[in-house]
Amino acid sequence: MHSISELQNIIRKSFDPQAFKREPSELYDPIAYTLNLGGKRIRPLLVLLGCDLFHGDIDKAVPAAIAIELFHNFTLLHDDIMDRAPIRRGKETVYKKWNTNVAILSGDTMFALACVHLSQTDPDVLPLALSEFTKTARLVCEGQQYDMNFETLNVVSISDYIEMIRLKTAVLIGCSLKLGAILAKAPPAETERIYSFGENIGMAFQLQDDLLDVFGDEQKFGKEIGGDILSGKKTFLLLKAYEIAPEKVRSELNQCFSNKLIPGEEKINRVKKVYQLLKIKELTLEEIGKYFSKALQSLDDINEDETNKKALRSFANELLKRDF
Amino acid sequence: MHSISELQNIIRKSFDPQAFKREPSELYDPIAYTLNLGGKRIRPLLVLLGCDLFHGDIDKAVPAAIAIELFHNFTLLHDDIMDRAPIRRGKETVYKKWNTNVAILSGDTMFALACVHLSQTDPDVLPLALSEFTKTARLVCEGQQYDMNFETLNVVSISDYIEMIRLKTAVLIGCSLKLGAILAKAPPAETERIYSFGENIGMAFQLQDDLLDVFGDEQKFGKEIGGDILSGKKTFLLLKAYEIAPEKVRSELNQCFSNKLIPGEEKINRVKKVYQLLKIKELTLEEIGKYFSKALQSLDDINEDETNKKALRSFANELLKRDF
């Protein structure tokens, strides 16, 4: 078994941005820039952790780990165009720094590169790995579409929202771990359990992301606080607030989101006040806890020594312990 | 061996647009719309022809054939955004009919779907097929980038242009045939020969496309004639004209492309006049002939009975015999 920091070292070496420099520079510079922004490299780490838990050869899981991170960054690049997001990880997004065409095409190239890397997986596990990866890629696209649909809908149910974040975020976390397990030739029942662990951690992670957008620390979060409120994004917090708000509070929310004359900062503060009144932070933390428990149950069910699960357990704890 | 029309029938059945309808409709409707526009389905036909030539099982090549066509349509969807092209195959393009975000995401989904289909390829040939497909996907992106770069460059050499169309168009034609050959377990030397046949046919095909944009029939071409001239696109025709034009003719060209006050129709007519003066049509046809001969040489070199090559030979003749 490897420690998390050993695995992180392997990943760090694999993402030397120089390795992604190539001609034409107009295409590959934005890719190197994106990969250079860093991020936590959670998904490739999960591929390696999934492989390690089932005693697989870590070196052989590296191409899939790189593939997953490239795919994830491709989705971010394109999502940033669609969401008109100017900042990612504290820096300008690609479409903002260059332009939309550059962001479209360098994103496409990252997807192609992800497939190039995945194709280097051992032939005996490649069919299963590819099938899992491609199924997930499709679901992630569906999730992004639901996310965009929600922008123009007046009413979105919490269950629709939950399904959207499952597709947009959680399935890729599950897939990362499952890929690692597949590469280690774990039995199908075990690959499903580790997938379920990942999917539920992913749900908790995304709900926490919603929470941090309102109650987080801008420096640590790497994005502007209150962005979701300013853009009127239907997050778990907002949908929950609408669900439980008494009439008067509901009209305050409506007022905040329909009156274009309210300055940004005031809008953020007024919505935050509603959230505090309705204890939305506590309710969101409760929901996060629910998914976290489900995740841990799946981890418990895996037939491996508790000592082998330690890395995944501490990873989950670490991930869900972000500062507020 | 199968006839071309038998293979076309198999492809037609595989592209029942109903098969691509799914939820969310906002994502899959543009995909069904795109596939419904038809097009000649050249690339999937080539996958099946490549497989057939080497006596492979056609049914087993169908997933790769679908994958190639989905990938090709994905690139068209995204290229149309980047090129701001309003019309494709005589109908509105997706970004124009819906919007840019829809075109980005449904394009991404077609790429993912392409990979889903390819993953259904027999495990024993999947590694080689996937490696060929993903390498090509990357090159096609590079080709599109060079194409965009050329828009802002003052000087583009004919050899740079040739390399661009090789990447953007020809490698995918070569890859289609090679994939079929790989699935039929043809020897590597043969897969290279059929690739070379395809790549050279692809070159001839693209040069012919440049020609048709100026000298074609709008109804049959499915695009507005003179579009390349209006957008100032550096095609083989224009680059050749600049290469051989005497000073006076060159300044007429410069005038046409720099004076924004010249109405569109006049611009097209004046540039066409220059092309006629310089015999650009004849020179382009000569270049097309060069690639066509190279392609036929590669086909000749393949160690299969001439009768088995008939379908590919007549396909090549058919493709290069478009009306002017």
The ipTM estimated for the assembled molecules is 0.93
Quick one: average pLDDT of B293-312? Answer: 96
The CB density around residue A233, as the number of other CB atoms within 10 Å, is 16
List all residues 6 or more positions away from B291 whose beta carbon is below 8 Å from its beta carbon: B200, B201, B203, B204, B207
The whole-chain average pLDDT of chain B stands at 94
Q: Is the pLDDT of residue B323 over 70?
A: no
Note the pLDDT of residue A324. Answer: 46
Share of chain B above pLDDT 90, in %: 85
Peptide bond into B44 cis (omega under 30): no
What are A222's two structure tokens?
A: 């790497």
What is the spatial distance between Cα B320 and Cα B197, in angstroms, rounded to a whole number? Answer: 14
A166-191 per-residue burial string, b: 16 or more CB within 10 A, e: under 16: bbbbbbbbbbbbbbbbbbbebeeebb
- Which alpha helices (DSSP H) does chain A contain, by range? 4-14, 25-36, 42-53, 58-83, 94-97, 100-118, 126-152, 158-165, 171-183, 188-215, 218-221, 227-230, 236-244, 247-258, 264-277, 280-301, 306-319
Residue A10: inside a domain:
yes
pLDDT at B321: 77
Radius of gyration in angstroms for the set of CA atoms belonging to chain A, rounded to a whole number: 20
Beta bridge partners of A91: A88
Q: Which residues on chain A are in Cβ contact (under 8 Å) with B94?
A: none
Strand partners, A92: A87
Q: In terms of CA atoms, which chain B residue is nearest residue A25?
A: B145
For residue B134, being part of any structural domain is answered with yes
Tell me, yes or no, whether B324 lies in a domain: no
Tens of pLDDT, residues B247-267: 999 999 999 999 999 999 999
Checking if the pLDDT of B222 tops 70, the result is no
Residue A81 has pLDDT above 70, yes or no: yes
Of residues A108, A123, A135, nearest to B116 (C-beta): A135
pLDDT of residue B13 exceeding 90: yes
| The pLDDT of residue A153 is above 80 | yes
Average pLDDT estimate for A312-317: 91
pLDDT at residue B220 tops 90: no
What span, in angstroms and rounded, lies between the C-alpha atoms of A258 and A232?
Answer: 9
The pLDDT of residue B221: 66
- Show the tokens assigned to B3: 């006839």
Of B27, B119, B146, the CB nearest to A142: B27
Instruction: List CB contacts of A133: < 8 A, sequence separation 6 or more.
Output: A64, A67, A68, A71, A118, A175, A179, B115
Q: Which of A80, A137, A77 is nearest to A108 (CA)?
A: A77
Cβ distance A24 to B105 less than 8 Å, yes or no, reads: no
CB A158 within 8 A of CB A243: yes
- Tell me what pLDDT residue A221 has: 66
What is the per-residue pLDDT across A97-149, written as a single tens digit (0 to 9) for each? 999 999 999 999 999 999 999 999 999 999 999 999 999 999 999 999 999 99
- Residue with the larger pLDDT of the pair B38 and B137: B137
A148 and B101: CB-CB below 8 Å? yes
Structure tokens at B13: 């059945």
Q: How many domains, chain B?
A: 1
Distance CA A246, CA A65 (A): 47
**In chain A, pLDDT over 70 holds for what percent of residues?**
98
pLDDT recorded at residue A154: 87
SS3 A87: strand
Identify whether the C-beta of residue B141 lies closer than 8 Å to the C-beta of residue B33.
Answer: no
Residues in A lying within 8 Å of B, measured between beta carbons: 23-24, 26-27, 78, 81-82, 100-101, 104-105, 107-109, 111-113, 115-116, 118-119, 123, 126-127, 130-131, 133-135, 137-138, 140-142, 144-146, 148-149
The answer to the question of residue B221 being in a domain is yes
d(CA B152, CA B179): 35
- Subunit contact A123:B119, Cβ cutoff 8 A: no
What is the least distance, in Å, from the CA of B110 to any CA of chain A? 9
Query: Tell me, what CATH number does B104's domain have?
Result: 1.10.600.10
Q: Per-residue pLDDT for A188 more than 90?
A: yes
Whole-model pTM: value is 0.94
Cα–Cα dist B270/B273, whole Å: 5
Question: Rounded mean pLDDT of A167-172?
Answer: 97
| Residue A142 domain flag | yes
| pLDDT score of A246 | 97
- Would residue A324 count as lying in a domain? no
Chain B residue with minimum CA distance to A164 = B24
The residue with greater pLDDT, A85 or B58, is: B58
Domain assignment present for A291: yes
Report yes or no on B14 lying in a domain.
Answer: yes
Give the span between the Cα atoms of A162 and A288, in whole angstroms: 12
Residue A313 to residue B215: CA distance in whole angstroms: 67
The rounded mean pLDDT for chain A is 94
Minimum distance, in Å, between the CA of residue B75 and any CA atom of chain A? 9
Q: How far apart are CA A255 and CA A278, in angstroms?
A: 17
Residue range B198-210, pLDDT digits in tens: 999 999 999 999 9
Range of the domain at B47: 4-319
pLDDT band at B124 (very low <50, low <70, confident <90, very high): very high
Confidence of residue B322 (pLDDT cuts 50, 70, 90): low
Tens of pLDDT, residues A211-269: 999 998 877 766 678 989 998 899 999 999 999 999 999 999 999 999 999 999 999 99
